């Protein structure tokens, strides 16, 4: 048999791809055979005279030496330009023509540590035997470790040997943007339709962003149709170096400042078949985040954890593919250095992402191309900003999107809905938006409302508007296909324009959703976008809604594939199926072979929610002339440009409340900061204590909505006892008071790709204790939230990173060495703390943001040990499109240095002139002042024993610079 050796990073000979001028480059037009090293070294030639003189014993010695050299050379790594791999011997998985198996050597298998075993037989539902494993020329050794956790695969028993065949890099050429290369594979794999020649493209797009594309040079393949930036010149001073392994091919990406290896694909063989692409790499540490959408802790478990990606309608469940697909991760580098990097695979096909304790990761997708980015950071926040430079910064939300939203499935009528709104007003509980679920529709038909039960819906919406409130309705993508001809315009007009997804024979694919048999719009077609707009406009003329909730858009169907099934094709039954719920690509959705304008549903499925959100946002902007508000269940990279997201159909459980924090933080990493969970839980009966605690937490979701299911008891705040109702009201008023801070954070997300709700590790990346925290979080840099997440307690334990912290409500200070503290937490209280060095703008709250956004400001400064602090405020009219681009905004920076606060107006607009600064508080003023001046005039103030100075009756115009000295 031919012996292969998989090389470790220490063994392999590298081509330095950054120093491209020095890389071994095959000359243009030169025969590869002239540069390729021969498979065996040439035997030294002997003259005839020497042969006559030589004794027989000398001849035997020479031959013996030649044999030893040959054996050594075959086992040694390539140390110059690559050589051609030997040709295939027999069919995949077999030995030569004599039928003997080319099995890996037992000693080679035995040296592979369990943590570094890469699964050679990942198919589910198969009992992998030694015979099956060895048929793939892989190692079979039962794991010695303990059995896997429930739902986990555990250590592979069948894994790649060190010498499993992969691609060879046979040429490298310099380009204006980086390098290109040719990869060749001479030994076929056990998956069909190997692509034996590949094109490698390395693009040094910026100093902190590397792009790698591996494609089929002979045939175009599906690529994700989202806009990404195109580099025009090569990075001049990259923070990364790239090294290429020739034989076997691999890519090693290092951080130049530290030499840390961020990516090393030599750890396992590369696969590139028509419907099976696999890329493995080492990870820089065990600290990895992102990879949505899944229900899990914020920090992923790397112990044989498979995360499947394929958009699916299912209530959030561990180890299950959920509504959205986001093949991006953030990883902290090893050693507590505080540095981080990111990785993004631009691929929408069904895939498994396998984390293992090496630490290592395997990407296993069944279509498209390998097109990935590496982001160098160096800190976590910079990684996210660099990722969002590629997929797009999130949209600036309309102001009322940041208020309190109320909904339920099962109000039953518009009058019952209206009564809930009136009760909220009567109790003075903040509410900005009222929603209705599907029960508002006439027979669950999109773009209709029940003429009997919801006959007063238009009047209710007008009443909401008169009180400064807004109305959001839900839409499903499924359009009823069984209404009488001429009786349902959306379907009739959709057929006429050809907007629906079809079978391969051209007939309309019919599934089943809430209205019964349905067709599904193809949002990859611009014609569909126009049809969608027309439907929205026609309905808006009857019910003047303000925003859209797009649900069931994975897309979901109550039948697998279609009502007539799906054809038996490779798209429906690929050689490998990732671990999707239901085991089939068509499970509870459309046929994978279904035809859309851009490509097959096999390729487009997980893009459906993104494309519907794009069509919806465009339609709302066009129709209303204001910022669009869209909340989508299914999401994909770049989603934040068009919509927010809620975390799906959760349950009224304490654990669901806890896991919502991880979901919120993860979607902030993924560029969808307008995110939250259904407060109090969607399904099952909630409890009063749970609902109070969840409302307190939910007040700090970027998107705050209470929503529950049909046949469950009401869970709007007025439905509870006076004590609970009061606690909920207090937390919602608190959120309303923090609107200026929250709005400014969304401005930073929109313009710089910042997170809004932020994990502690972002601000304290050198504190390893923050890496696993998902029971606390920050708003921006400075406001730390520590909610109660357990029943029956009146305290909570929170971690305080090293530094000075202040109780938000009282100003009492805490000097932490980096420690956990036990905090009082009665039922009506959520713990908030301000980090030293911040100035945050707050506002006198009201029951709607329409009213409170015009109220005076209160500035809160949390001073550092040296007495300094800083902050900012962004302000505009809250709803106009592109106010930054049209210069219709105000931007004010606040600085505290040496006992003086300075307000500097960086940009002024008339809207800001309506806002005044009424009071200012300073936490941590060590010496009681004898005098306070505002713009050199004496001002009223109070000073408390806990070192809190409050200056009152200011009446300062926000659009003018001012100083406060003490």
pLDDT tens across 837-889, in order? Answer: 999 999 999 999 999 999 999 999 999 999 999 999 999 999 999 999 999 99
* pLDDT above 90 for 19: no
Whether the upstream peptide bond of residue 785 has omega within 30° of 0, thus cis, is no
Please tell me the pTM assigned to this model: 0.90
The answer for residues whose C-beta is within 8 angstroms of residue 549's C-beta and 6 or more apart is 435, 472, 473, 474, 475, 630, 631
Q: What is the mean pLDDT of residues 572-578?
A: 98
Distance, in Å, from the CA atom of 661 to the CA atom of 775, rounded to the nearest integer, reads: 7
Check whether 96 has a pLDDT greater than 70.
Answer: no
Structure confidence at residue 531 (pLDDT):
99
Q: Are 648 and 631 in contact (CB under 8 A)?
A: no
> Distance (Å, rounded) from C-alpha 33 to C-alpha 350?
40
Three-state DSSP state, 67: helix
Residue reference for tokens 């976008």: 529
What tokens were used for 708?
A: 């529950």
Mean pLDDT across 460-481: 99
Q: How many CA atoms lie within 13 A of 306 on its CB side?
A: 25
Residue 52: pLDDT band (50, 70, 90) is: very low
Q: What is the mean pLDDT of residues 109-122?
A: 96
Q: Of 470, 467, 458, 474, nearest to 398 (Cα)? A: 470
| Residue 25: predicted pLDDT | 34
Confidence at residue 321, expressed as pLDDT on a 0 to 100 scale: 98
pLDDT of residue 781: 98
Averaged pLDDT score across all residues of the chain: 91
712 in the Ramachandran plot: left (φ > 0), alpha (ψ -120 to 50) or beta?
Answer: beta
Mean pLDDT confidence for 642-653: 99
Task: Quote the pLDDT of residue 29.
Answer: 37
Q: What are phi and psi of 50, to 5 degrees?
A: -60, -40
3-class SS letters over 757-815: EECHHHHCCCCHHHCCCCCCEEECCCEEEECCCCCCCCEEEEEECCEEEEECCCCCEEE
pLDDT in tens, 679-729: 999 999 999 999 999 999 999 999 999 999 999 999 999 999 999 999 999
Closest CA to 842 of 860, 864, 829: 860
User: From CA 522, how far away is CA 499, in angstroms rounded?
Assistant: 6
Show Cβ contacts of residue 233 under 8 Å, excluding neighbours closer than 6 positions. Answer: 176, 177
Does residue 82 register a pLDDT over 80? no
**Is 414 in contact with 457 (CB distance < 8 Å)?**
yes
Task: Give me the pLDDT at residue 911, please.
Answer: 65
- CB contact at 8 A, 699 and 734: yes
Report domain extents, the chain. 14-159, 168-391, 760-965
Average pLDDT over every residue of 519-528: 99
Give the chain's end-to-end CA distance (angstroms, integer).
85
pLDDT at residue 660, rounded to an integer: 99
For residue 592, the 8-state DSSP code is T
- Give the pLDDT confidence of 130-181 residue by residue, as tens digits: 999 999 999 999 988 767 666 667 899 999 999 899 999 999 999 999 999 9
Per DSSP, what are the bridge partners of residue 904? 893
Q: Give mean pLDDT, residues 242-269.
A: 97
Task: Please name which of 836, 837, 839, 788 lies closest in space to residue 814, comparing C-alpha atoms.
Answer: 836
For 497-522, what is the mean pLDDT? 99
Q: What is the mean pLDDT of residues 219-226?
A: 98
- With a cut of 50, say whether residue 21 has pLDDT above it: no
CATH topology of domain 168-391: Immunoglobulin-like (2.60.40)
894-903 confidence digits (pLDDT tens) = 999 999 999 9
Residues assigned a catalytic role: 551, 554
> Would you place residue 40 in the very low, low, confident or very high pLDDT band (cuts 50, 70, 90)?
very low
Q: Is the pLDDT of residue 43 over 50?
A: no
Question: Which of 237, 284, 294 has the alpha carbon at shortest distance from 259?
Answer: 284
Cα(683)–Cα(707) distance, rounded to whole angstroms? Answer: 9
Q: Which among 862, 912, 932, 871 has a CA at the least distance from the CA of 748?
A: 871
Does the structure show a pLDDT above 80 at 427? yes
- Calpha distance 485→495 (Å, rounded): 11
Question: 601: closest CA among 614, 583, 610, 589?
Answer: 589
Phi then psi for residue 675, to 5 deg, are: -145, 150
Local confidence band at 597 (pLDDT 50, 70, 90 cut-offs): very high
Tell me the CATH number of domain 760-965, given options 2.40.50.140, 1.10.3720.10, 1.10.10.60, 2.60.40.1180.
2.60.40.1180
Structure confidence by residue, pLDDT tens digits, 438-451: 999 999 999 999 99
**pLDDT value for 66:** 42
Tell me which DSSP letter residue 914 carries.
Answer: G
- The pLDDT tens digits of the residues spanning 369-413 come to 999 999 999 999 999 999 999 999 999 999 999 999 999 999 999
> Which residue in this structure is represented by tokens 């409170």?
852
């Amino acid at each position: 048999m031919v012996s292969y050796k998989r090389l470790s990073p220490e063994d392999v000979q590298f081509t330095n791809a950054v120093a491209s001028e020095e890389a071994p480059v095959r000359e243009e037009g030169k025969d590869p055979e002239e540069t390729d090293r021969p498979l065996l070294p040439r035997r030294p030639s002997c003259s005839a005279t020497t042969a006559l003189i030589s004794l027989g014993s000398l001849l035997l010695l020479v031959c013996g030496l030649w044999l030893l050299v040959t054996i050594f050379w075959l086992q040694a790594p390539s140390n110059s330009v690559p050589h051609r791999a030997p040709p295939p011997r027999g069919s995949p998985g077999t030995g030569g023509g004599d039928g003997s198996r080319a099995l890996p050597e037992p000693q080679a298998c035995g040296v592979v540590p369990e943590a570094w075993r890469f699964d050679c037989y990942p198919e589910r539902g198969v009992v992998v035997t030694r015979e099956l494993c060895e048929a793939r020329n892989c190692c079979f050794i039962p794991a010695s470790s303990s059995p896997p956790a429930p739902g986990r695969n555990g250590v592979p028993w069948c894994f790649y040997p060190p010498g499993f065949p992969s691609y060879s890099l046979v040429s490298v050429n310099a380009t204006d943007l980086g390098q290109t290369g040719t990869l060749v594979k001479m030994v076929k794999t056990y998956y069909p339709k190997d692509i034996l020649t590949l094109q490698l493209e390395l693009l040094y797009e910026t100093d902190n962003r590397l792009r790698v594309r591996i494609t089929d040079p002979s045939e175009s393949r599906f690529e994700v149709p989202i806009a990404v930036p195109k580099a025009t010149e090569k990075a001049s001073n990259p923070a990364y170096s790239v090294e290429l392994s020739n034989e076997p091919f691999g890519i090693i990406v290092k951080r130049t400042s530290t030499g840390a290896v961020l990516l090393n694909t030599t750890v396992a063989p590369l696969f590139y078949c028509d419907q099976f692409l696999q890329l493995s790499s080492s990870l820089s540490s065990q600290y990895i985040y992102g990879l949505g959408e899944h229900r899990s802790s914020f920090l992923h478990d790397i112990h044989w954890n498979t995360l499947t990606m394929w958009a699916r309608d299912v209530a959030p469940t561990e180890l299950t593919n959920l509504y959205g697909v986001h093949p991006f991760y953030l990883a902290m580098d090893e050693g507590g250095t505080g540095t981080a990097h990111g990785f993004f695979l631009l691929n929408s096909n069904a895939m498994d992402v396998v984390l293992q304790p090496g630490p290592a990761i395997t990407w296993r997708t069944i279509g498209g191309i390998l097109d990935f980015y590496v982001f160098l950071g160096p800190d976590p926040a910079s990684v996210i900003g660099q990722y969002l430079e590629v997929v797009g910064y999130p949209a600036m939300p309309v102001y009322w999107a940041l208020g309190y939203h109320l909904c339920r499935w099962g109000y039953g009528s518009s009058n019952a809905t209206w009564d809930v709104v009136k009760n909220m007003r009567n109790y003075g509980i903040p509410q900005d938006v009222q929603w209705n679920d599907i029960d508002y529709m006439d027979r669950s038909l999109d773009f209709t409302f029940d003429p009997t039960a919801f006959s007063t819906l238009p009047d209710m919406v007008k009443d909401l508007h008169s009180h400064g409130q807004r109305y959001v309705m839900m839409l499903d993508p499924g359009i009823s296909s069984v209404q009488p001809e001429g009786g349902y315009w959306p379907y009739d007009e959709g057929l006429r324009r050809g907007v629906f997804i079809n079978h391969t024979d051209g007939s309309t694919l019919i599934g089943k959703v809430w209205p019964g048999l349905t067709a599904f719009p193809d949002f990859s077609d611009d014609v569909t976008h126009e049809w969608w707009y027309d439907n929205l406009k026609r309905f808006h003329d009857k019910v003047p809604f303000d925003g859209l909730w797009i649900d069931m858009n994975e897309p979901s169907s109550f039948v697998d594939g279609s009502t007539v099934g799906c054809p038996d094709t490779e798209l429906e039954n690929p050689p490998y199926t990732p671990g999707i719920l239901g085991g089939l690509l068509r499970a509870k959705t459309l046929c994978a072979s279904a035809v859309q304008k851009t490509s097959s549903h096999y390729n487009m499925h997980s893009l459906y929610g993104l494309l519907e959100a794009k069509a919806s946002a465009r339609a709302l902007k066009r129709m209303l002339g204001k910022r669009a508000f869209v909340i989508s269940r299914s999401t994909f990279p770049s989603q934040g440009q068009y919509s927010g997201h809620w975390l799906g159909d959760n349950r009224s459980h304490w654990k669901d409340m806890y896991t919502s924090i991880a979901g919120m933080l993860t979607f902030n990493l993924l560029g969808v900061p307008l995110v939250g969970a259904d407060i109090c839980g969607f399904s099952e009966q909630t409890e009063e204590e749970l609902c109070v605690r969840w409302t307190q937490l939910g007040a700090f979701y970027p998107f705050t909505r209470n929503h529950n299911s049909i046949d469950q008891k009401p869970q709007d705040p007025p439905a509870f006892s006076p004590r609970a109702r009061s606690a909920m009201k207090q937390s919602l008023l608190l959120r309303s008071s923090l609107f200026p801070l929250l709005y400014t954070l969304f401005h930073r997300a929109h313009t710089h790709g910042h997170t809004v709700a932020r994990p502690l590790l972002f601000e304290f990346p050198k504190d390893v204790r923050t890496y696993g925290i998902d029971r606390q979080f920050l708003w921006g840099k400075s406001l730390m939230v520590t909610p109660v997440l357990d029943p029956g307690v009146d305290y909570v334990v929170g971690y305080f990173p090293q530094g000075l912290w202040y109780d938000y409500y009282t100003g009492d200070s805490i000097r932490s060495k980096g420690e956990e503290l036990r905090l009082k937490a009665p039922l009506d209280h959520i713990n908030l703390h301000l980090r030293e060095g911040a100035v945050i703008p707050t506002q006198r709250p009201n029951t709607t943001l329409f009213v409170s956004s015009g109220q005076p400001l209160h500035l809160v400064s949390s001073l550092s040990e040296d007495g300094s602090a800083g902050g900012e405020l962004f302000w505009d009219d809250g709803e106009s499109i592109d106010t930054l681009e049209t210069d219709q905004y105000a931007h004010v920076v606040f600085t505290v240095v040496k006992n003086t606060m300075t307000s500097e107006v960086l940009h002024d607009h008339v809207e800001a002139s309506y806002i005044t600064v009424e009071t200012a508080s300073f936490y941590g003023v060590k010496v009681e002042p004898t005098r306070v001046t505002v713009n050199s005039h004496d001002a009223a103030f109070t000073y408390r024993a806990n070192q809190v100075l409050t200056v009152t009756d200011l009446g300062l115009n926000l659009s003018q610079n001012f100083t406060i000295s003490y």
